[in-house]
A and B are shown apart, each in its own frame.
Chain A
Amino acid sequence: MMRNPVIQGLRDGTPIAMGYFAVAFSLGIIAVKAGLTAPLGFMSSFFTRASAGEYGTYTLIAAGAAWGEIVAMCLVVNLRYMLMSAALSQKIKPGTAWGHRIMMALCITDEVFGISVAYPGYTPPAYTYAAALVSTLFWASGTAMGITAGSLLPETMVAALSMSLYGMFLAIIMPPARKDRNVLRALVASVALSGLAAVAPVTGEWSSGMRTVVLTVVISAAAAWLKPVKEESDGAA
């Protein structure tokens, strides 16, 4: 049965938006330390849409870091979007206009990407746009709210709210793992190696963004080599 992709996108984007609001709120509390005003925080979150990247940027601004450091940090922490953009390119119907391909690439966040690649068959651009629009509006308003009202909340509540981001990640990765045993194996390997890398001598010194990039490349490559996807599966890479 065919459904309207805009309505589907709004429906799937709404829980993401709720989660984003909570996470962005805690991000806003950090942005205050960097000297951001609520309108500036709104604009920054609206156009950047990167949780870890924004967190890193605000922390660096607060520390008075050089512009080069901000650029380098954004590159490393957001490198996963490069991989996601390549993966999403395989979910767009061949012959789709360039404008749509570019817009879809700009919509990439961990969660919007997650639901976009999970869409059965080719992903309609309207689905991704709808989900991205609703989630981005809440992401940006959450940041502005956090800047304005964050200091009024008790610290335990802020700590609890910041867990929502990880909860969303789990909600995205567990259902496919239940369906595909190889994804489950890759997840178990990821958790084990990520835990190990965080405490190991050399990798433990790296930033968590750096560890994310290296572990993603190594584990995904190993999984692709050991358990390649079926030859005939079409489009849904």
Chain B
Amino acid sequence: MEQHKIIISIALAILVTNLIRLIPMACIKGPIRHRFVRSFLYYVPYVTLAVMTFPDMILTPPSLTTGIAALTAGIIAAWMRLGLLPVAAICCLVTWAMS
């Protein structure tokens, strides 16, 4: 693709992605009192990240066994509250060691 078309494509991605971030914040004024809505928003981040992690994480390495091992190691490390970087490093190292 030509350079100017690549730039327009990227500009569109930047515009759309940031509008998505902005719109809800601009529309919601003050605290939400509705109990269901508040509960829904409470669960959203955890559910989203869980859904994005599984099954994609075990499908990323060349073998399923490696993926399951990295996921298991990551869950244990995260459960032990080792922090972002150590958990990420453990997942990488398990994948690296097994491939």
Contacts and interface: CB of A to CB of B under 8 A. Distances in A.
Interface of A: 14-16, 18-19, 22, 34-36, 40, 43-44, 47-50, 52-54, 57, 60-61, 64, 67, 70-71, 74-75, 78-90, 94, 101-102, 104-106, 108, 110-111, 113-114, 117, 156-157, 159-178, 183, 186-187, 190-191, 193-195, 198, 208, 211-212, 215-216, 219-221, 223-225, 227-229, 231, 235, 237
Interface of B: 1, 3, 6-10, 12-14, 16-18, 20-26, 28, 30-32, 35-57, 60-62, 70-71, 74-75, 77-79, 81-96, 99
A235 B62 CA distance: 44
A208 B54 CA distance: 10
A131 to B, nearest CB: 11
A219 B47 contact: yes
A219 B43 contact: yes
Contacts of B31: 90, 94, 235
Contacts of B23: 82, 85
A224 B77 CA distance: 28
The secondary-structure label for the interface of chain B is helix
A175 B80 CA distance: 8
A166 B50 contact: no
Contacts of A225: 36, 39
A227 B39 contact: yes
Contact of A220 (B40, B55, B78, B96): B40
Contacts of B47: 186-187, 190, 215-216, 219-220, 223
19 contacts: A14-B85, A57-B13, A64-B1, A71-B12, A75-B20, A79-B20, A81-B20, A83-B48, A84-B21, A90-B31, A105-B22, A106-B22, A114-B49, A169-B49, A170-B71, A170-B78, A187-B47, A190-B46, A235-B31
